[in-house]
Structures are given as C-alpha cells and as structure tokens.
Structure 1
Amino acid sequence: MKQDIVKQSVSKLCFRNKAILAPMVRVGTLPMRLLALEYGADTVYCEEMVDIKMLQCRRVINDVLETVDFVAPDERVVFRTCKKEKDFVVFQMGTADAERALAVAKLIENDVAAIDVNMGCPKEYSTKGGMGAALLTNPDKVESILSTLVKGISKPVTCKIRILPSLEDTISLVKLIERTGVSAVAVHGRVKEERPQHPVHCDVMKAISEALSIPVIANGGSHDYIKEFSDLETFKQLTGAASVMVARAAMWNPSIFRKGGLLPLEEVMKEYIKYAIKYDNYYSNTKYCLCQMLREQLESPRGKKLHAAQSSQEICEIFELEDFYKETAEMLQARKAALKVQTQEEDQAEDTDVIKMAVRFVKFIVVSICALCRREYPPQITPKMCLLEWSRKQYLPQPEYDTIQRPLDRFFCSTVTVDGKKYRSTVWEKSKKLAEQAAAIACLRTLQLPEGRLSEGENNPIHKRKRDEKEAINGTGVTEDTDLECAHKKQQIIQKTSELDSSAVPQ
C-alpha cells in the first residue's frame, strides 16, 4: 500500500521525464523557486538546511506575506515556503544523524512535497561535520538515515549523491540506497574532488540508471550540455536518467525551463526582483542572485550599481521598478495594519478573566528637548523584582509568566499570574523581557504597590530594603526571610571584626 502511495507521490513530484531546479547555496530561496516553477520547472529543491540549525527553529505562520516561516532563536528566517509551491518543493537537509534527520523531517513534512538528504556536497563545512560527501564512504550511516526517514514520515524520501572513483563501488552504494525504500536518487556525475570545470561522467550515470529500478535524476550537465530547454532531453538520453536536475544553468537564467526558449535576461531579472520584493527576500541574497545572472556584465554601469546597492529599494531603482516597490510596500503595510487591528480585537474579546492595563516598562525617559535622559528605575531594580519580593513577603507562590509572540510582527505579550489572578499589559513589546516587565507593572499598579521607580521615593523597595537592613543591624528592627539572613550575617561580620581588633590591643 505504501509503495503505491510513494509511486503516486513520485509521479506527482515529477521525478520522471521532467526538469528539476537543483538546490544551490543562496539560490534555492523562495523567490528563485517560484520563478523556476513559473517558467516550467516541475520540481524545485530548497537550499541545503543543516539539521541542527533547523531543530532550533519554530514554525510561524506569516499572515502578512502569506508564508510559513521557520524562524531561528535570533529571529532570522531560516526557511520560508508558501502554498503556491507546497506540492512541488523538496526540502533538502544536511545531516549525519538518523534521529536528528527524522526530527527535522517531522517538523517540516506537512509544508513540503518530499524530503531529500544531501550526500554529495563536497564543501568543508558539510564534510567536516560528517555530512554531505563524507557519507559516501559510510554506507552504514547512509542506510540508517534513509531507512529511518522512509519508515518515519509519510512523504517521499530522496537523496543526492556524487559518484565514487570506482564504478563498482558506486553501483554498490546506489543499490544499498535503493534497498532503503527511497523514491528516487539524484546523481551528480562527478567525484568529490572534481569541480564544474571537470567533465561530467555521463557513462557512470547511465550505468547507475540501468542498475536501478527507482528513478535516477541526472545532475551536472550545466554549460557543457545544457544551455537551453531542448538540451534537457539530450542530457537525459545521454545518462539514461528518468529526469534532469539543473543548477548553474538555471541560476544564470531560470527561463531555461521554458519550452518556448530562453527569455531576455532583463525580463527574467525583473520578474525575479518582483518575487523577491513580494516575499520580503533579504536584499543581499537578492543581489547575489542577480549578480549570478549578470555574470560577464558585472563590470557594466548597471552591474557596478547593483554591486553597490545596500537595500531592496536601491535594487528596484536600478531596474526601474520604483513604482512596483512602492506599491508592494504600501500593500504589505496595509495588510499588516489590518491584521494588527484584527489581532487587537480578538485579544480584547478573549481572556475576560485577565486584568488588563496599557502600560510598558521604560528604563529611561527624555527630560528635555535636547534629548537628555533621566533614569526611571535604579540599577538592578525592576518591576518583576518588586513583584517577586512582595509575593515572598505575602507567602504567595512565585509569579508565573506566560509569554506569547504574535506572528504578524513578532512582538511579545505576557500574562503574569499572582495569587490566582492574571494581569497583562495590552501593549505588545519587541522582546520577551520587556513584555514580562510590563505585565508585572500592570499587576503592581492594580494592587497599588510600588514598582521600583526612583520617583516613588521612600516607597521605593530598594530604599526600604536598605532601611530595614540598617534597622536590623542596629537592633531596632528585624527583616523577614532573606533580608533577615543578610542582616544576621552582617552582624556576625561586624562582631568578629570587633573581636579581632580588641585582641590586637596590648593588655
């Protein structure tokens, strides 16, 4: 039953008799993938994602861009996809561990069409970690990773390899790969040490195609064999493969997948820029891809301007797309504003048991037109500390903070629970820490308690704590809990010091 499902999925993914956009570093991003699909590519691969990096990400639905983002702890988008490519994008990962690979696959499988393991990357960053081409000589690990993925997820699993120096060893490896149950294998027809300037070994790929019953995807023919769409079939016949994967030739001009022939580069570059702006692609990545398309024209006036560009807006100006940039920016801003209003309305309608207040934590305030700042809180004193200290003195459980992040703009909102009641600031903050401080302020002000500001004078907890400690040491008062212990220790130190001084005086 599963084999039938896999066969249907493979057919749907176009692993047979079709053209495929291969992943390349910084090129297999969403704008380039969508452009390749528009021009006729049947399947697109994302750039290689390292398993450890992906496991640190959280899945975020981006309602503004209408995408699904996998966001790292530093808020950088590691992988972005959308509904338009869901049935055609293959997620390629770099891994050297079966369990990690499975964890990543489970994280991503509902947003992609298939999972691929890159076992052919010759770069040091990959091989040094036991990934990429390092796996070619580790058949046990290859079998473990692929078998675990095939058994563990519902989507098709593929892998991409390079050939080995020996044809016999290469055939042995691909047969092992076939036995794991993968749906297809992509073969770059060069050994690990060879580079694009070396001839691709079509004969070896043909021998692999004849030895396997699963689809073989031939890769490595750019420039030498593939310069336009009709060359895809020629390369396919030379290698005996089921389909052809294109990387460099597609990077130079993605319209290579177009049956009607290559389009003028100017038109292709403008279409790429539109996708990049629409999906908020980072400008340096957009610039890199455009430079790869320009190639020998990089020293032209336009090429020099592109090289100097420092923003997406500047790139649009170089290609006379200022109006498109402005219209798209306004459209996205309007969508963001509408979603913000909707979010606020939903927030007001929910959680009726939460006490809310529009407050925020500001450490410094501007006190003059010259932008002079005044400290609002003493060093090391915050509303959270004040709330914690008050809770302890009331013998209440420690305040609990529940913080969420809004997908719309990635701002934070926190709810604090104290003595069974919930408090929250209605102001969304840029960081988790600020959101929690704002929630603490909402609670303290509701309970009419000091929150630690310098303007509170004698009511400020820091002044009160120092006064209590002084009274405890002088024997005129006592403190509770940690304050009492601190005062007691200080008394012991003073007493011991006094004893040492007295013993040093001659009798």
Structure 2
Amino acid sequence: MAGDKKTLDFRNKYILAPMVRVGTLPMRLLALDYGADLVYTEEIIDFKIINAKRVENELLGTVDFLLSDETVVFRTCSKEKSKVVFQMGTADAQRSLLAAKKIENYVAAVDVNMGCPKEFSIKGGMGSALLKKPEKVQEILTTLVNNLSVPVTCKIRVLNDLQETLNLVKLIESTGVSAIAVHARTQHERPRHANRNDFIREIAKTVSIPVIANGGSKGLRSVKDIEQFCQDCGVTSAMIARAAQWNCSIFRKDGPLKISDVARDYIKYAVLYDSHYANTKYCVLQILREDMDMKEGQETLAVMSLEEICHVWGLDSFYKETMKTRRKRSHNLSISKENDDEPCIKQQKTEDGKTLVQMLIRYVKKDYPIGISPKMKLFEWITKKRLKPPHYLTVERPRDRCFHSVLTVGDTKYSTPYWEKSKQLAEQNAAVSCLLALGVHDGRKEGTGGDAKALAGKWQEMLNNDKDLRENVGIETLLTSGTESGKTHKNGNVMQEGESNGKDKKDITKTEVEKKEESFSNEDSCQIQNLSER
C-alpha cells in the first residue's frame, strides 16, 4: 500500500472544522469558494457508512452514500475531491477500516474523531472516550494508516495534564498519521473556558508532524485573526469551527462578507445540491446568530421548504431556474435510462391465483410535501372509489430487522424488491408501486421522480401490448369502479389506512420469512418472491 499512498500537506492550511449538520456539501463548497484550503466533513459514524449504498447521482453530479430509506449519509462531488477530509466516528479498528475503504477513492484524507465530548459518542466508546484508551487509539490509527491509500489524521482534545497529553500525541505520531488536530480544551470544558494555546505550543515542539490548532473561534473574525491564533499556538495551520459556522467568509483574504450575502451564497449551494430544507434552515439560522432581528431572519423561522427559504431571501428566480434545469436533466436521464437499461417491472401469478406486480421503485420522503404520502393518496383514491380497503402484508427479516411489504388492492398484489428499516417505509414502497400501476398521482412534488415517470411509461406500454396482463391485473375494472363496490362494506364504511380484517391477518413464522430473504436480499435484483397469504 505504501507505493500507492497519496499525500497531502497539512502545513500552512486554514481548514473548515468538522461540525455536525453544518459540514455537509453546501457549506464545504462555500468554504472552498471563500478561500479555505481544506474542508472536513461532519463526523459520520462507521456503522452508517458501512450500511450505506454508493450511488452515482447523475442528476446532481454527485456521489452519494445512502441508507435504505434514501437518507444521505455522505454526499460529495469532484470539485472538493482533493480538498475534503472524511471524519469518522469509530471505536473499532476493523470496523473503521471497513468504513474508510468505502469512501477512500472519493476523499483526500480520512480523519478519526478522538475529541467529541458529546454523550452519544462517549457511550459508544468513540470521540474523547478514546483519549483514555491509548492501546485502542494505536490500533485504530495503525490499521488505517497501513491499509488506506489516502493520508490518515486524527482530531483530539487535550488531557488535564500536559505531560499525559504529550505522551498521547507521541503515541499518535508513532502510528504514521499525517497530521494531528488539537482542540485545546479537555473533554469536560466548553467554549466558555479558555483554550489552552500553551498546550498546542508544547505539542508542536514535541512532534514532527503538522499540528493543526483548534478551539480559538471566540476571538476569530478574519484571516488576520487566524494568523494571530496560529502564532499564539506556534503552528502554521488552524481549524475553524464556530467562527466559520457563523460566517464562512472568514476564510476570505479580502475580509469577510456581510452576513446576508453569506446566507444567500449558502442557500444557492443548498438548492444546487438538494440539501434538505430543515438542515438548510438550521445553517442559515446559525449564520444569522447575531442578526435574527433582520426581516429575513424572522421569516426564516417559519419556512417549511427550500422554495420558501429562497422566497424569503429573494432567490425565487434562482430556485425556479434551478428546478427547471433539473427537470429537463431528469427527463433526459429518464429517456437515456429507458433506452439503455429499461425500467425493471416484473409480474407473475401467486399461489392464490392473484397477480403480483413488482416495480423497481422506492419511496423517497423528501420528494413529497409535508403531510403527503403515497399511502395517504392511495387510501383517498380507494375511499373515493368505495373499494375494498387495501391490505398490507408486511414481514420482518430477523437477520437485520428490515421490512418488506406486499399490498393487495382488488385482485392484484403490488410490491418492490427492497427491504426497508421500518414497516412504514416498506408499506410506502408498496403503495408507490400500486399507484404507478393504477396511473394515479402519488402526491410527489413537481420536478421529482424521473424514474417513476419512466416506470409508469413502461407499465402502460406493457398493458397496451398484453391483453391478458390487462385482464389479470384488473386495472380497468378498478378505474371504473364506483358506488356498486361500496356494497361490500358494512354500512358503507371504509377501514382506515393499513387496517385489515382479523380473518385476513396471518402470522408469518421466522422460517417463512427466512425463505423470502434470499430473493429480496439483493437490492439491485428484480427477482420476485411469492408473498401470497397463507
């Protein structure tokens, strides 16, 4: 591995520190625009990245690592590849290596968090809990250094005793790390406590690797302040956290910008890279920390979408143009995908004689307005048609406690090949598949769901070309149903969403669930497993 090792010089660098919720792609790119030399991601726990699936996001031009429910764990792009350091929370050497291997080709370096004082980190043996376990520190860092192609660093807090701190950093240096970032407060100290700059000076004298000073945000407002902080600590590199969170333009050599300009620049990146509105709102409010009396500040408190945030900040045209461009790109990608690799739809007869339709589609929560879901839309449609209520047969896989659901509407069953981390997500998947087959809008926001449109088009083509399929799934019968079907319900009542009659409810044994696992375990597969009720 030594011959293939990439290098990164950590000397003379001003760096965006790792910050939870703040250090996502929009803020990292903004910091680089303003002059930061390197940017650290927010801390990402090893388990999360291990369980995430890598996806080439052609629509955004990013590489995404996603959980089963499409939650973005880590999103990056080529613009930051040579400047981004992936910070990981871990307490285990082999697990940290497994996680780091998944992302090493997309980052400039990997950092191990050994300084976080938060309870959730400490209880998991991560963060500053590692400071009291030198053998574990040595094992984790040595394992990463010896097996990764990118540089490895770590970020620590100091111990109460200077000599103990120096002993620790000498051990860390012996593992072969490329740099060490030092937040010069102890595990129990907070920002109100003075940063122990003298500890950093002694550390810099003790080790030969670059030392990155951290913890001085209270007195930092400009590049000149950062320079002075470095001089006080006897180092050439500094890592900026809260001061950059409040005004990321602190990295500008020509001086910081107005808060309102920084907020708008950040919002633009958030829109371009489809940041969740809640996280965008949080970061904007952090930027406005001392200026919440601004008109925009008060209005930002009430926003519930990226579009509303853009409206508050006078970026309506930017938002509309970005969405227009994204819709066009999504359409072109859908056509390309349809030509090169047709959307996957499978259908077959189940043991009870019904037809099972399986579509390669997932429910992505952010694609829907707040309070709207496919299950709700399906329930409204069925209520309007006065049909028999939908029946969700949802099973749990013992191995990883993930769920899969098959939905029955009329004489047809609907599903997807995916297992999800919650029962609700699994049932939403089935509802999306059903609504696509029925040609009923599932409530998603305009400009989203390029794959859904492609699937709907393919399904319609299949129905047009196959008379037997049309008859088997009974689409036409369902679509033309009206009040007559209401006679099947006592007193004309329709049961609530997800409710089923007691006599329809079946217990799925562990053995039966395990029989279903093999067919559905591969998320990229389009195999169909018979999930008929027994």
Secondary structure of 2:301 counterpart:
helix
Equivalent in the alignment of 1:466? none
Letter of the 2:71 partner, please give it. R
Matched with 1:123 is 118
* Aligned residue in 2 for 1:316: 310
1:82-97 alignment, distance < 5 Å:
82-97=77-92
Structure 1 residue ranges (4+ consecutive) displaced by more than 4 angstroms after TM superposition: 359-370, 376-383, 401-404, 427-430, 444-456
Deviation (angstroms), 1:268: 1.4
Shift in alpha-carbon separation, 1:375–1:127, aligned structure 2, 3 A: same
User: Take 2:381 and 2:298, find their aligned partners in 1: how far apart are those partners?
Assistant: 45
User: Counterpart in 2 of 1:476?
Assistant: none
**Is the Cα contact below 8 Å between 1:51 and 1:104 reproduced in 2?**
yes
Cα deviation, residue 300, structure 1: 3.4
What is the Cα-based RMSD across aligned positions, in Å?
4.1
1:132 paired with 2:127, answer yes
> In structure 1, what residue type is equivalent to 2:284?
L
Any unmatched runs of 5+ in structure 1? 389-400, 405-410, 414-424, 457-507
Which residue does 1:374 correspond to in 2?
Answer: 387
CA distance in 2, matches of 1:455, 1:376: 16
> For residues 233 and 308 of structure 2, what CA distance do their matches in structure 1 show?
44
Matches of 1:257 and 1:295 in 2, distance apart?
18
1:5 Cα offset (Å):
7.0
* Equivalent AA in structure 2 for residue 254 of structure 1: C
Letter in 2 for 1:229: V
Q: Deviations over 1:181-214 (max 9, x none)?
A: 1110000011111111111111100000000011
Distance change (3 Å), C-alpha of 1:441 and 1:48: farther
In 2: Cα distance, 1:35 partner to 1:220 partner: 21
1:273 to 1:143, Cα distance in 2 relative to 1, 3 A: same
**Which residue in the other structure is 1:156 paired with?**
151
The equivalent of 1:461 in structure 2 is: none
Separation in 2, partners of 1:222, 1:341: 50
C-alpha distance in 2 between matches for 1:166 and 1:129: 24
Aligned partner of 2:262 in structure 1 is 268
1:242 offset after TM fit, Å?
3.4
Q: Is 1:49 the equivalent of 2:44?
A: yes
Tell me the SS of whatever aligns to 1:181. Answer: coil
**Please, what TM-score do these two structures have when normalized by structure 2?**
0.69
Q: Is the 8 A contact 1:378 1:453 kept in 2?
A: no
TM-score by length of structure 1 reads 0.72
What's the CA shift for 1:371?
2.1
Which residue does 1:297 correspond to in 2?
Answer: 291
Question: What does residue range 177-192 of structure 1 map to in structure 2 within 5 Å?
Answer: 177-192=172-187
CA–CA distance in structure 1, aligned partners of residues 381 and 288 of structure 2: 52
Equivalent of residue 9 in structure 1, options 7, 30, 48? 7
Correspondences of 1:466-485 after superposition (within 5 Å): none
CA contact (8 A) 2:358 2:417 kept: no
Assess if the C-alpha contact under 8 Å between 1:252 and 1:293 holds in 2: yes
Deviation at 1:293? 1.1
The 2-side partners of 1:88 and 1:39 are apart by: 13
Q: How does 1:217-256 map to 2 (within 5 A)?
A: 217-224=212-219, 226-256=220-250
CA distance in 1, matches of 2:227, 2:382: 71
Q: How far has the Cα of 1:372 moved from its partner?
A: 2.2
Q: Number of residues paired by the alignment?
A: 413
Percent of aligned pairs with the same amino acid: 49
Distance 1:173 1:25 in 2: 26
> 1:134-164 CA deviation, whole Å, 9 max, x = no partner?
0000001000100110111111000000000
Report the alpha carbon displacement of residue 244 of structure 1 after superposing the two structures with TM. Answer: 0.6
How has the CA–CA distance of structure 1 residues 322 and 379 changed in structure 2, closer, same or farther, with 3 Å as cutoff? Answer: closer
Q: 1:174 aligns with which of 169, 172, 196?
A: 169
Q: Which amino acid aligns with 1:312?
A: L
Deviation at 1:30, TM superposition (A): 0.3
Over 3 Å counting, the alpha-carbon distance change for 1:378 and 1:155 in structure 2 is closer
378 and 40 in structure 1: CA distance in 2 versus 1, 3 angstrom threshold: closer
* Equivalent in 124, 127, 138 of residue 143 of structure 1: 138
Query: What's the CA shift string for 1:335-367, capped at 9, x where partnerless?
Result: 11110011001125x99xx99xxx778999999
**Cα pair 1:367 1:373 within 8 Å, conserved:** no
Work out the CA distance in 1 between the residues paired with 2:197 and 2:381: 75
Q: 1:99 aligns with which of 94, 99, 104?
A: 94
Q: CA deviation at 1:441?
A: 10
Q: Which has the larger radius of gyration?
A: 1
Cα deviations by residue, 1:105-139 (Å, 9 ceiling, x for unpaired): 00010111110000000000111100000000000
Q: Give the distance between the partners of 1:238 and 1:256, measured in 2 at CA.
A: 19
Q: The residue matched to 1:310 in structure 2 has which SS?
A: coil
